[in-house]
Structure 1
């Protein structure tokens, strides 16, 4: 099964991945970063999945989201009949609920439902009990976790797996629901499946109607906005980088990371996308999460946090899961939390500046926090760090990290000037100029006519595409033009953009087979449009849209050899970058700037 064969459903607290054949193969419950109950995505059915299978062989399978929603409809065709499966996770329910509605629209279909729950990341078999006198309810318990299965067709426990075999004729309808609870709680009431489905559909329709995106790319933008909202924790405001873990950057490789957390680097990109499409409440929710997460001593700013703002995300390997297409090791947690990445200061200060410009004004206490970040940055900006791509072979003087250190000071100055915030303006102006001159002197290679990945290196890096986007240099500066040309000549693969070519011992070295990074390709769309190369920008954007799967989702990367999506899926940064590139294309602008 390829990654693009999956669709996502979610409830604002977690998300599930549903295959083209209507098997739910991934679900962490009750939160994005919780233990899994379905982990077949990283193993096989014995690691947990919920299958709805027809007895007769399938002739075809197709699916689509209901317009403007995250409700997926999968149509399974056999020679004997047609089954339509409607899947969603309920919004604003007292407890997390997953719904599956089945409708036979033609002929006769014999169906088997198997709910193979495996806790403890795919290995713990729950105690499965049919609850007598409760209309065929099934309860699955393992330690603190408890799932309740209800349906219009009763399921019987066999080998600790609830199973139901039934026949449907044209016009027949059935539904199942799975409710997540704690084992110490009383049994939750059976969900009103029809009402909850209708309420969830209406929620998404109402939410989608708020989008202000217009123009030829409005539909693609809306699908990406829905994806972004689905990756947002409605309780905390944090946004998961992806709902999955350990989907490899290249099948068979060890570049497998857990992305079920919130990266500060995505802050400004996300803020711009949400504000640019009219979602001010969502932007404010994200801004508030950001402020809470970074609250504390500036020296202890982290690269990433859990969605509730927790700081401990210890990385460990899971030896009993073989990995997607046998790509081991499977990792949970992320060791990047221990890294130093100076670029996050720029992304945080830029996001807070954008929120002020949009009228989402943080209070004076937040400004005090920002001043503290600049004071600390002044002490550490010259130090090497681990960079935007989180390489694991030691710190370096990464050019983009220094650029974003300048962005941090520049945006703090802008906030001070435009919104009357008290600040040592002369001191900050001197600091911004000092950082800028350092980057221009040490990050730019006169022989290559390009900014390079790190000081003294000849390696190129696609992050340098953002130099004009963040306003470090104007788009018509010859050093920007040279950098774009060098990236076009050396970091393009099958018309798409690589992050870099090779860091020894790291993913991206020649032996590791670095794959095109989709966000970087959207950045190139943005830059080409700023350069006035509108036709090239539009053509690349259309190419990127064609890489989405059949329901409009993107992963982290694209494997040009196997012609498939790779990396964690769906990837928030890819969809945020799609939104921002589309807004740039449709706005008919050709200028640099912070937004």
Structure 2
């Protein structure tokens, strides 16, 4: 990707899929197959970018390590069972390996984050060039360079600094100034060569430290500790099914997108990556959606990660507690990782956008939308956590009870729906039936735990919702449940109706709906969330198929008795992963990844589909794991 300082061109943007992800559980970095860090925000996922050339090749900033030739082949892999990324360079002179990782920060929130880049030559000789070109605050903040007397350098702006530490003793060969730090513009460059068995590297650190030389033994110990953390975490998984490698990678990807100080899961670590290249569907996903994170509880519990599920439920209950007494509803649809909700959307006017995809947005204007379905997803996760021993305290139950009273009063108003369209409010079927889920799970919790609750009222409203969905959400001419009562448009979000127990998976009404979706929303096993030409969503352009919806489709097929079709669809879907097993939000017409990357929804739905499909393959079509679905109806 990088041909030299200042030579990035629009055509040089890597494919979205051509990236690996590393992180320290407070922030993360994307590294492309040419060894370039082109996205890194600090000190948190939702902080301004330090490297952002993925969204503007000229202004965004980057850190690259690559062979000093254009004639090379690169390959990427993760060190097995870890989040340590290895980029291999194969040249005519030799083979080198770039090892990238971030030591894990599990404790309190910190401004200090370390990003290690170690290059070793394993065969022959390799000449290389490394460049560090930070651009703070999305390229809006200027900085100065403070050299570190051969120990490294420090990039300093008014509000932020990035330190470059040297690792090990100089072993660089080549020209007279091989291994020396050269100031080039407002960045630096290091060149040199290494022979087989030799290693050189740097550590980038935020938080204000001065440059120093880090002994190689200390760096090796840091890598060993990082390896041990990820392997110990991976070994906690209880999954023993057919797709262990893909499930494990998806689980580690979700862990990488979890903000450890609060337990919040971001939807993606990136912003502005397009759902249609060159289009305007470019959103900031570095926040925690109630919906996404609630579905993650199902995935985490399915793999035995009860601590992570408990941490998110605690985070969710904090949001419920904070909203007590507000007029806007008990919950917002999304928050920052620290639980605040200042997500004002703005446009980076000077950013070119990924391959010209503009506007580039930071913040998210959908944060203040009314999306009634979040109460169903939240209550389903709380109920599922309860069945696994994570019970609510008294105060928590009181606040949940108040929230469900609010649902009783507001479930019948129009909302903006799960897909956050900007085409106005509707009486969305998905929002309606998820309100049914909210009340149903509340009733079950009250009854199973003997908690005080206006159960008669909740039951009355739950049943009223059921009757309305069966009447107004059903389109007799289409023979299907539809997006909302004033349309005949199909909506893939309704694939979760049998999963949530709203309809029996072999109910003729459901089988007819599934057949209609097969005919209209499914393309070679891939599933569109809806047909935007038939249902205007207030945005120009089109989009790819939704990875989340495809995995929902797998589950719906299996529950409805189409087990062979479900397995084939799942296996096909695995072929659309990138070279590391990662998924963006969408898949384009020719199989390209689209949207923010990697996407939490995609990976948690893969886990859920794998766990459920495994159980049904072992026990028979339509049978579901009672441990995972404990308390759910019609399964």
Measured against the shorter chain, the TM-score band is over 0.9
TM superposition score normalised by structure 1 = 0.96
Kept in 1, the 8 Å contact 2:280–2:358? The answer is: yes
Residues 42-191 of structure 1 mapped to structure 2, 5 A cutoff: 42-92=55-105, 95-132=112-149, 135-152=150-167, 153-182=179-208, 187=210
Give the superposition deviation at 1:285.
0.9
Give the superposition deviation at 1:123.
3.9
Q: Counterpart of 1:344?
A: 374
Residues 1:548 and 2:563 aligned together: no
Equivalent-residue separation in structure 1 for 2:478 and 2:105 (angstroms):
55
Q: Counterpart of 2:40?
A: 27
Q: Counterpart of 1:479?
A: 509
Residues 1:585 and 2:613 aligned together: yes
Q: Counterpart of 2:410?
A: 380
Change in 2 beyond 3 A, CA 1:366/1:204: same
Kept in 1, the 8 Å contact 2:127–2:193? The answer is: yes
For each residue in 1:127-146, what CA deviation from the matched residue of structure 2 results, as whole angstroms up to 9, or x when unmatched? 111023xx422011111201
Give the superposition deviation at 1:82.
1.2
Residues 220-299 of structure 1 mapped to structure 2, 5 A cutoff: 220-295=246-321, 296-297=323-324, 299=329
Give the superposition deviation at 1:492.
1.3
Equivalent-residue separation in structure 1 for 2:146 and 2:95 (angstroms):
32
Give the superposition deviation at 1:506.
4.8
> Which residue, out of 550, 570, 574, partners 2:598?
570
Equivalent-residue separation in structure 2 for 1:508 and 1:283 (angstroms):
35
> Which residue, out of 543, 556, 571, partners 1:514?
543
Give the superposition deviation at 1:331.
0.2
Equivalent-residue separation in structure 2 for 1:213 and 1:155 (angstroms):
48
Give the superposition deviation at 1:173.
0.6
Give the superposition deviation at 1:520.
0.3
2:132 alignment partner, SS class: strand
Equivalent-residue separation in structure 2 for 1:157 and 1:150 (angstroms):
15
Q: Which runs of 4+ in 1 moved over 3 A?
A: 186-192, 503-509, 591-595
In the comparison of the two structures, how many residue pairs are matched? 588
Equivalent-residue separation in structure 1 for 2:139 and 2:260 (angstroms):
27
Change in 2 beyond 3 A, CA 1:193/1:275: same
TM superposition score normalised by structure 2 = 0.90
Kept in 2, the 8 Å contact 1:129–1:157? The answer is: no
Change in 2 beyond 3 A, CA 1:84/1:517: same
Equivalent-residue separation in structure 1 for 2:363 and 2:571 (angstroms):
35
Change in 2 beyond 3 A, CA 1:267/1:165: closer
Residues 1:404 and 2:434 aligned together: yes
Q: Counterpart of 1:534?
A: 563
Change in 2 beyond 3 A, CA 1:250/1:410: same
Kept in 1, the 8 Å contact 2:320–2:400? The answer is: no
Equivalent-residue separation in structure 2 for 1:293 and 1:487 (angstroms):
36
Kept in 1, the 8 Å contact 2:165–2:211? The answer is: no
Give the superposition deviation at 1:551.
0.4
> Which residue, out of 500, 517, 524, partners 2:530?
500
Deviates more, 1:76-85 or 1:418-427: 418-427
Change in 2 beyond 3 A, CA 1:402/1:548: same
For each residue in 1:19-77, what CA deviation from the matched residue of structure 2 results, as whole angstroms up to 9, or x when unmatched? 00100000001100001010000011542000112112333110100111110101011
Structure 2 unaligned blocks of 5 or more: 1-13, 168-178
Q: Counterpart of 1:430?
A: 460
Q: Counterpart of 2:4?
A: none
Kept in 1, the 8 Å contact 2:423–2:538? The answer is: no
Deviates more, 1:488-497 or 1:296-305: 296-305
Equivalent-residue separation in structure 1 for 2:391 and 2:541 (angstroms):
45
Kept in 2, the 8 Å contact 1:507–1:513? The answer is: no
Structure 1 unaligned blocks of 5 or more: none
Kept in 2, the 8 Å contact 1:136–1:155? The answer is: no
Equivalent-residue separation in structure 2 for 1:506 and 1:331 (angstroms):
21
2:121 alignment partner, SS class: strand
Give the superposition deviation at 1:155.
2.3
Kept in 2, the 8 Å contact 1:383–1:397? The answer is: yes
Give the superposition deviation at 1:195.
1.8
Q: Over the residues paired in the alignment, what is the CA RMSD in angstroms?
A: 1.7
